[in-house]
Amino acid sequence: MATENLSNFSLISRLFGNLFYRCPTDPILAGVFGWLQQGGLSQVWVLETDKQTQSAIESLQIPLDLTLLAQEYHKLFANVSPAISAYGLNVEEFVAFRKERAMSEVESADHFGLLFLTASWIEDNLDSVDAQRELFERFLLPCASQFLNQVETQASLPFYKALALLSREILAAMADELDEND
């Protein structure tokens, strides 16, 4: 991922974080699905795409019945814990990490989606490779593989399978970018 495209990482992180963190019928997501259906993700996706990636992007951008997707969300996350503590992470350490960087407090920091949202906030507000690297090494990467594999395996609808696949791709690209900055 080229340096000039890092702002797209922030946008994609915010998008994916909210899609994991919030039920599809949450009013905060009201405009998101319309944006997706207009090809918004295709426009900001900066990584090379193969057939599988392109199919995943299309799966996120097709028109959806949000009531059906909300049912899938509740069923999926009743079976797959979105809690970062379920993957061995210390939530109090994550809260302290956020607090040290003057991030706002949240109702529940014990959620995978918040890791993506934190990455986006750091990208937009701190311009700190060290903070981004620490987030990835201490919190995001240690639980992402387990969580995303479970989501992809247990999701019934293509939407969450695609979200998991694309999440892995964008996280791998950003981790590579952080390694290159060493």
pLDDT tens per residue, range 5-16:
447 888 999 999
Locate all alpha helices (DSSP H) within 65-140, ordered by sequence. Answer: 66-79, 91-100, 112-125, 129-135
Rounded to 5°, the CA angle 123-25-8 comes to: 20
Per-residue model confidence (pLDDT) at position 60: 96
- Please state the domain count of the chain: 1
Rounded to 5°, the CA angle 84-90-95 comes to: 90
Per-residue model confidence (pLDDT) at position 8: 86
pTM of the model: 0.92
Per-residue model confidence (pLDDT) at position 182: 62
pLDDT in tens, 25-43: 999 998 999 999 999 999 9
What is the domain-level CATH number for residue 46? 1.10.3480.10
CB 33 within 8 A of CB 121: no
Domain that holds residue 83: 3-180
CA-nearest of 9, 11, 54 to 32 is: 11
Mean pLDDT per 10-residue segment, the chain (182 residues): 58 95 95 95 91 95 95 97 96 96 91 95 87 94 96 96 96 85 66
